[in-house]
Amino acid sequence: MTDETFSPFELDKFMQKQGISGEILHQASKTQTVEAAAQAVGTIPERIVKSILFMIEERPVLAITCGPAHVNRKAIANFYGVGKKKVRLAQPDIVLRETGFSVGAMPPFGHKFKLTTLLDRRVLEQPEIFAGGGAENVLVKLNPYDILNVTNAHVMDLITPNVTDT
């Protein structure tokens, strides 16, 4: 297995194949944080989607949330019936190996391997969202239901107000 890096081009091909009408947006600056991405496209932080890969024991699980709130690892642990310490952020090399994309640029779909996906319910409350587009200065503008439909995600509450545990 190689650590081949995918690009916005592969993401665009995936979206075309899946019939997703999103738009790839190339930005002049890096969009690796929620704040930078929101500023780049002139939207509110709650419309910026984060795709974060976790390892539950040795199993990769993608968590998708929006805005600046942190993912509640305890919610993921409860969903899988494991202790919170069994839910770890994937290391950058594992993110690349499992998804084909680097941390900070990862889209919510179009990965090297189909991933089990958990989708925070708040993502679906947004009329449109912006997610990682496959490079540190690229975003993809989407209907949030495209994420749900293409990933068959489990919709749940992945964030808790004032939780600082990513």
Question: What is the rounded CA–CA span in Å between residue 96 and residue 101?
Answer: 5
Q: pTM to 2 decimals? A: 0.92
List the beta strands (DSSP E) in 57-152.
Answer: 59-66, 87-89, 116-120, 129-132, 138-142
| Residues 83-137 pLDDT 10s | 999 999 999 999 999 999 999 899 999 999 999 999 999 999 999 999 999 999 9
Indicate the pairing of strand 154-156 with strand 49-56.
Answer: unpaired
* CA 103 to the chain's CA centroid: 10
Query: What pLDDT, in 10s, does the model give residues 43-86?
Result: 999 999 999 999 998 999 999 999 988 999 999 999 999 999 99
Domains of the chain: 8-156 (3.90.960.10)
